[in-house]
Amino acid sequence: MKTRLTEKLAIDHPIIAAPMAGTSGGALAAAVSNAGAMGLIGGGYGQREFLEAAFRDAGNARIGCGFITWSMAKNEALLDLALSHRPAAMMLSFGDPAPFARKIRDAGAVFICQCQNLDHVRTAVDSGAEIIVAQGTEGGGHGATRGTMSFVPEVADHLARNAPDVIPVAAGGIADGRGLAAALMLGAEGALIGTRFWAAAESLAPKGHREAGVSASGDDTLRTNSIDVIRQLDWPPGYTIRVGRNGFTDRWHGKEEALRGALVVEVPRYQAAVAAGDPVNSAPIFGEAIGMVHAIEPAGEIVRAIAEGAAAALGRRRRG
């Protein structure tokens, strides 16, 4: 499948692996890229050691990187570090991309912005973004409130009218070939996929989390602020995080103020649970698409299965 996205990123399949914080390391990004898609390292909350290790683990693979913009803005040297590795693409999410746009473009990286509403899209376009990821609320991790099914075509139409050279990409709830085919039918030129790669063999997500995830359904997720409270992350208003519903969220979702008053006790407990890969007392970060993920598989096989499934789905539609 050739689309404007595959041409822009010089890839074979219109698939980008999401730069998931703490999950998307160099091995995962490289495996995705080596299979003909685009793998992105997750810059996360700005740990220099993680970034250096991730680029080292990626070897000579042609990969990109992504940052949580508001966090990276506190230490722009991390962007400089990533750009020094000459990534093929750089993605910014959750914050004003304008202060970093010229540096990214001057480094030769394709500039990607992930957006959660039309105001974000307008800001990203004005900043010079070349690819806009329209993120639906179904996705795992942080996001907002718009649903993928309506948001993606609205973004595609907006770009067609106002910035026709900017490429729309869909995200949120996409985990197989049917989802990629649907994204293309909605007007996107490809898909950014997180949850399916979160469960990949090369993922850095705790194995216990991934093993719990592959037996879950989309009903087993929720959007919450409790995970950011326990991790003491000061996210801007308007964003929540979608995670697997479990014992921790049963205790603390909707009780965030009480949790803030219990951090002295609860933070060490949570950190110990994360270290142990405990899926009940720490948060597996996956989206509603987890219901379509049934095994921990190599990332390269995932790329091929999604691409082949999308081609088959679109072929059936043409024959119909």
Same structural domain for residues 134 and 237? no
Burial class (CB in 10 A: 0-12, 13-18, 19+), 74: exposed
Banded model confidence at residue 212, pLDDT cuts 50, 70, 90: very high
Give Cα 136 to chain centroid, integer Å: 11
Q: What CA–CA distances, in Å, run from 283 to 98, 221, 242?
A: 32, 10, 9
Same structural domain for residues 195 and 93? yes
What is the share, in percent, of the chain residues with pLDDT greater than 70?
A: 98
Residue 228, pLDDT > 90, answer yes
Same structural domain for residues 179 and 36? yes
Residue 1, pLDDT > 60, answer yes
When divided into structural domains, the chain yields a total of 2
Query: Can you give the pLDDT at residue 47?
Result: 86
Say how far apart CA 109 and CA 122 lie, in whole Å.
Answer: 21
Q: How many CA atoms lie within 13 A of 64 on its CB side?
A: 29
The CATH number of residue 192's host domain is 3.20.20.70
Specify the 3-state DSSP secondary structure of 143: strand
Residue 260, pLDDT > 90, answer yes
Rounded to an integer, the average pLDDT of 278-285 is 96
Same structural domain for residues 272 and 315? no
Same structural domain for residues 147 and 248? no
Say how far apart CA 306 and CA 61 lie, in whole Å.
Answer: 21
Same structural domain for residues 147 and 197? yes
Helices (H), the chain: 4-9, 26-34, 48-58, 69-72, 77-84, 98-106, 118-126, 148-162, 177-185, 195-198, 207-213, 226-230, 247-252, 256-260, 263-276, 299-319
Rounded to an integer, the average pLDDT of 115-139 is 98
More confidently predicted of 291 and 318:
291
Same structural domain for residues 71 and 130? yes
Contacts of 280 (CB under 8 A, 6+ apart): 246, 247, 248, 273
For residue 13, the 8-state DSSP code is: S
Amino acid present at 254: G
Query: Can you give the pLDDT at residue 317?
Result: 61
Residue 200, pLDDT > 90, answer yes
Banded model confidence at residue 318, pLDDT cuts 50, 70, 90: low
Same structural domain for residues 52 and 11? yes
Query: Can you give the pLDDT at residue 44?
Result: 87
- pTM of this structure: 0.96
Same structural domain for residues 168 and 259? no
Average pLDDT, the chain: 96
Query: Can you give the pLDDT at residue 149?
Result: 98
Which residue range(s) make up the domain with 79? Answer: 4-204+295-319
Rounded to an integer, the average pLDDT of 180-203 is 98
Same structural domain for residues 194 and 219? no
Q: Looking at the domain assignment, is residue 290 inside a domain?
A: no
Banded model confidence at residue 197, pLDDT cuts 50, 70, 90: very high
Rounded to an integer, the average pLDDT of 284-289 is 98
Q: Tens digit of pLDDT for each residue in 33-71?
A: 999 999 999 998 878 999 999 999 999 999 999 999 999
Whose CA is closest to 215, among 305, 286, 283, 148?
286
Contacts of 159 (CB under 8 A, 6+ apart): 121, 125, 132, 166, 167, 168
- Cβ neighbours of 126 (radius 10 Å): 12
Same structural domain for residues 63 and 145? yes
Whose CA is closest to 38, among 314, 258, 307?
307
